[in-house]
Chain A
Amino acid sequence: MKRMFRLPVYSYLFPGLFFMAVFTFFPVFMSAYLSLFRWNISNPSPNFAWFSNYLEVFKAPLFWLVLKNNLIYAFTTIPISMSLALFLAILINQKMGSVRSFYRGSLFYPTMIPMVAAAMLWVWIFNPGLGIFNYYFGFLGFPKIEWLYDMRYALIAIIIMSIWKNFGYYMLIFLAGLQGIPKHYYEAASIEGAGPWNQFRYITFPMLAPATLFVFVVAIISSFQVFDQVFVMTQGGPGDRTNVLVFYIYQHAFRFWDLGMGSTLTTLFVMGLLIAIWLVFRVIGKRVYYEV
């Protein structure tokens, strides 16, 4: 009897599994397979070429510049947006009556705007002559920077914009985590004489670990998937200083129509991301405390 019930159980999985297979698993394996072929405008029918595409990727100096840009982006946006999100989530979690939902709404607002619209907006904010960024920072005595026109600052401009866009989502997850921490822990701690810092250090932070791990993984993924803002604001320029991995893949696959190289880069990208996330779970995941 027991066995007979298994089939329907698996069949419930079928619709989801079917679409995952068609739109996720199949493309992943297909691009891994195609990465072994030379397939571009000059070779309209794919020729098997072993790993020559991979060699070509690693030989191109531009690939290393793109990787460097993307790593700079990841190592700045992830810690800044996560700590900003945590800080603001703790602030918002304080008792402050009806003002709270106003603050929460306005801090979450950037996350709700579509990325492309936000990027268009920031093109104007960063405009050197008319934009408000230079206008306000001018009062503080900062030099006027040609944000998106300048090789040195274009990537920083994109980072600033992305932090503004992304921290709200992380903040919301932290906030949900904070509200799940039982109040009596804090009561007990304050009776024992623990100050705010110790309460944060020994109660909030460890109790938030599952939320932090989740946010961290999402942040890693999104920092390597960055594309829309680059496409709209700089097209990877000036001089490839804002070119990032997904934009580089896009250029090869859809601009240069080099599908072999596009597949190779995609495969490297997926593998790299999987390894990064596996490492995170191995190193940090074990130390996370789940209250069951």
Chain B
Amino acid sequence: MRKIILVFTIFFFIAGMVHSSETWAQMTAKPKLLRLTFYYPVGVAGPLARVIGEMTDKFNKENEGRIEVVPVYSGDYDPTMQKVQTAIMAGNPPDIFMVEISELPTLLTMNAVLPLDDYVKKLGKVYWEDFFAPFRENAVIGGKIYGIPFQRSTPVFYWNKEVFKTAGLDPEKPPQTWDELRDYGQKLTVRDPKTGDVKQWGVTISGGWNDWLFEAFVRQNGSWLISPDGLKANFNSKEAIEALEFWVELKHRLKVGPPHSTWGSTPPDFVGGRTAMLYHSTGILTFLKKSAKFDFGVAFMPKKKTYGAEVGGANLMIAKRISKERQDAAWKYMEWMSTSKNTAEWSAASGYVAVRHSSYDDPVMKDHVSKNPEYLVARDQLKYAYGKMMGKNFQKVREILKRQLDDAAAGKIAPAEAMQIAQKEIQGVIK
């Protein structure tokens, strides 16, 4: 009995060895599989991670056996940047990553991003110039292309049509100018007659990314905050101070809007009727459409000297310190993700602005915007939009600016003085 068991054991052992060496030979005969890591944030809401997963699955199927992209959801914009930076510092960067557009100068200081000009040249001007011009701005520094626009947004203006009616305003006419905004804001602010508590704010300019919204106001007043090369700060211009004075007037002097708020809580405030008008990203449009029980509109942000906005969001980038082979594979994925068809699909699913002119000729997109024309407002506003300010150590720039904006909105510091401090400190950071 024992012998039999022994013989069988030896037999199976040898059979197993032969078989496994066969499969080993098969495996090595195949071309090598490149497995790429892709870190990405979703700035707005969770379910969008599923969309990225589905798109990537499709790409992986088309390239089966050669390239496999592994998407890693890495949280909001800030955590994503932290994870990318940590990985770079540890010498093991993700092959592909998508970070908030203003982080480019920081990543360049770390020598972490691959210039894409050679790849882009092969596809020609037709490809590159098909991206909306303001979206291209934050991808280029010193004449070199470092990113491909993908998950892109811009701030817009939302208004609650029903409370417009209640206040005796035309529900189809949002304010067009700063003066109208001030006027409407006063008409739409509702206070408890006895206690004076605010029941409904006129206009909420969201906090959290208020640095981003503030830049739009400065653009509307015909100026800018940081030069496109990311080196010169311009926070103490007459126009910037006027923009902040306008904020202080709305938030502190007239009290028609909350002086401070958080980025995540203002969309629910709007849905809950706590505020009549809201400045926020285009990215929340899908959430508002699903949650709001009233009719609301989307419009350009009111103008001062001109309409004005700046773009936001994240670009796709490739890490510098990985092999050429991996870089080529990463580019293949990025090229695939940025086709007109796929950018259209992403936009329709997410509410982000489609990044290419030709995306809007895609049948999926045509169908989507014919049903939901509000999604076109952000695209049309791009005519008045510019690249977002960026600079080295942008996280610090943001903290400095937000602190001054918050203090000014609470009446703790005069706008001119706040902008002087911002100018001095920020110029010291980005120099």
Decide if B260 touches A123 in the complex (CB within 8 Å).
Answer: no
Closest residue of A by beta carbon distance from B196: A143
Inter-subunit contact B259/A150 (CB<8 Å): yes
Docked complex Cα distance between A256 and B85 (Å): 11
Report yes or no: B392 in contact with A237, Cβ–Cβ below 8 A: no
Chain A residue contacts of B260, Cβ below 8 A: 149-151, 237-239
Assess the B258–A146 pair: CB atoms within 8 A.
yes
- A239 to B207 CA separation, bound complex (whole angstroms): 10
CA–CA, A257 and B274, complex, Å: 38
B262: contacting residue among A130, A144, A235, A254, CB under 8 A: A235
A252 CA to B126 CA in the complex, in Å?
A: 43
Known pairs A41-B110, A237-B402, A254-B82; A123 contacts B412 (CB<8 A): no
What are 22 A-B contacts defined by CB distance under 8 Å?
Answer: A41-B109, A41-B110, A42-B109, A123-B264, A127-B272, A128-B274, A129-B274, A143-B197, A149-B258, A149-B260, A149-B261, A151-B259, A235-B208, A239-B403, A239-B410, A239-B412, A240-B403, A240-B406, A256-B393, A256-B395, A256-B396, A257-B106
Q: Does A234 contact B (CB under 8 A)?
A: yes
| CB contact list, B100-124 vs A, under 8 A | 106, 109-110
From known contacts A42-B109, A144-B198, infer whether A130 and B274 are also in contact, taking CB-CB under 8 Å.
yes
Contacts between chains A and B (CB distance < 8 A), count: 90
Which residues of B sit under 8 angstroms from A144, Cβ to Cβ? 195, 197-198
- Could you say which residues of chain A place their CB within 8 Å of the CB of B78? 255
| B residues lining the A interface (CB < 8 Å) | 78, 82, 85-86, 106, 109-110, 195, 197-198, 207-208, 258-262, 264-265, 268-269, 272-274, 392-393, 395-396, 399, 402-403, 406-407, 410, 412
Name the B residues within 8 Å of A41 (CB-CB): 106, 109-110, 392-393
Task: Judge whether A249 is part of the interface by a CB distance below 8 angstroms.
Answer: no
Residue of B nearest to A256 (CB): B396
Shortest distance between the CB of B402 and any CB in chain A (Å): 7
- What's the Cα separation between A239 and B198 when bound, in Å? 22
- Contact A238–B410 (Cβ < 8 Å): yes
Q: Does A199 contact B (CB under 8 A)?
A: no
Q: Is the CB of A123 within 8 A of B407?
A: no
Residue of B nearest to A253 (CB): B82
- Bound-state CA distance A235–B402 (Å) is 12
Which of B106, B259, B392, B399 has the most A CB atoms < 10 Å from its CB?
A: B399
The chain A residue sitting closest to B402, CB to CB, is A237
Q: Assess whether A93 is interfacial by the CB under 8 Å rule.
A: no
B274 & A237 in contact (Cβ 8 Å cutoff): no
> Do the beta carbons of B399 and A44 come within 8 Å of each other?
no
Which residues of B are found within 8 Å of A240, using beta-carbon distances?
403, 406
CA distance A150 to B109 in the complex (A): 37
**A34 to chain B: closest CB distance in Å?**
13
In this complex, what residue of B is CB-closest to A251?
B399
A238 and B198 form a contact (CB under 8 A): no
Q: Which of B208, B268, B395 is close to A255, meaning CB atoms less than 8 Å apart?
A: B395
Which residues of chain A from 17 to 51 have any CB-CB distance to chain B below 8 Å in the complex?
Answer: 40-42, 44
CB distance from A243 to the nearest CB of B (A): 9
Whether A123 lies near B402 (C-beta < 8 A) is no
Which residues of chain B come closer than 8 Å to A74, judged between CB atoms? none
Q: Which residues of A contact B82 (CB under 8 A)?
A: 254-255
Q: Does A148 contact B (CB under 8 A)?
A: yes
From 137 to 158 in chain A, residues with beta carbon under 8 angstroms from any chain B beta carbon are 143-144, 146, 148-151
User: Given A130-B274, A148-B265, A239-B402, 9 more contacts at CB 8 Å?
Assistant: A143-B195, A144-B198, A149-B207, A149-B260, A234-B262, A237-B262, A238-B259, A239-B412, A240-B406
Which residue, of A144, A150, A239, A240, has the highest number of chain B Cβ atoms within 10 A? A239
Cα distance A96–B204 when bound, in Å?
52
Closest to B111 in A: A44
CA distance A123 to B266 in the complex (A): 12
Interface residues of A in 110-134 (CB under 8 A from B): 123, 127-130
Within 8 A of B (CB), among A215-259: 234-235, 237-240, 251, 254-257
Residues of A close to B264: CB separation below 8 A: 123
| Complex contacts, A149 vs chain B, CB 8 Å | 207, 258-262
Q: Which residues of A contact B258 (CB under 8 A)?
A: 128, 146, 149
Partner of B272, one of A62, A130, A143, A237: A130
Chain B residue, CB-CB nearest to A154 = B260
- Per the bound structure, the CA–CA distance linking A240 and B258 in Å amounts to 17
- Cβ 8 A contact of B410, one of A129, A151, A254, A256: A151
Contacts of B268 on A, CB cut-off 8 Å? 127, 130
Q: Tell me, in angstroms, the Cα distance from A151 to B197 when the chains sit together.
A: 17
Q: Which residues of A contact B207 (CB under 8 A)?
A: 149, 237-238
Note all chain A residues with C-beta closer than 8 A to B273: 129
The answer to whether A44 touches B110, judged by C-beta atoms less than 8 angstroms apart, is yes
Sorted nearest first, the 8 A-B pairs with minimum C-beta distance are A239-B406, A238-B260, A129-B274, A144-B197, A255-B395, A238-B406, A256-B396, A149-B260
Cα(A144)–Cα(B198), bound, Å: 8
Query: How far apart sit A166 and B118, CA to CA, in the bound complex (Å)?
Result: 58
Query: Which residue of A123, A148, A151 contacts B406 across the interface (Cβ within 8 Å)?
Result: A151
Docked complex Cα distance between A41 and B273 (Å): 44
A129 and B109 in contact (CB under 8 A), knowing A149-B261, A240-B403, A257-B85? no
